[in-house]
Amino acid sequence: MAELIKSTKKKKNIKKFKKIAKNFRFPLEKLNKIVYYIYTENNISLEDTQMIKVISGEKGTGKTKIMLDSVNESAKTAKGNVVFIQQKRANSTGIDFNVRCIYTEEYSVKGVCGLIGFVDGLMAGNSDIEDIFIDGILRIAECEVGELEAFAKEANKLSAEYGVKFVLTVSCATEALPSFLA
């Protein structure tokens, strides 16, 4: 348990270091090398820092309910902002008032590239976002599971830069998830 707490503190310190370095216009490639060095010197596995969580299952298996519970729990514990993205204005009555609910149909988000640009814009406007929950990513991006690789890469990049965590619901069997989401 003490090791986990130390590891969490180290990750928070790395996140703070990245923010400070970014404010001083420190070159990102040098920053990534420094962060990699800090991770390897402190025995923090880079695989353990994957910041995309996927809730998967066939339609009607309760993915949204699990996500809403996670959103509300995150709102209670988060020091930064929590964002909940879904396609239409539904299921928002049980969400904590501290959560920013965004409905993509109001912003004409279409396709994977549109979703990537939308999330990038959110981060550009507010770098204090700690968690982004996206319900029904396949409906929003109007694509199949295999087409989400570009989004996964961008989400990992944003996770590394800002320390934001992503939680996605995907309507497909867990066994059918591609390796970049598993």
And the tokens for 61? 């298996």
Determine the average pLDDT of the residues in 75-79.
Answer: 92
pLDDT tens readout for residues 94-153: 899 999 999 999 999 999 999 999 999 999 999 899 999 999 999 999 999 999 999 999
pLDDT tens readout for residues 158-167: 998 888 999 9
Instruction: Quote the pLDDT of residue 180.
Output: 85
Q: How far is CA 126 from CA 34, 100, 129, 131, 175, in A?
A: 25, 12, 6, 12, 35
And the tokens for 49? 């820092």
Instruction: Quote the pLDDT of residue 51.
Output: 81
pLDDT of residue 37 exceeding 80, the answer is no
Q: Give burial (CB, 10 Å; 0-12/13-18/19+) of 93.
A: exposed
Report pTM. Answer: 0.72
Backbone angles phi, psi at 75, to 5 degrees: -60, -30
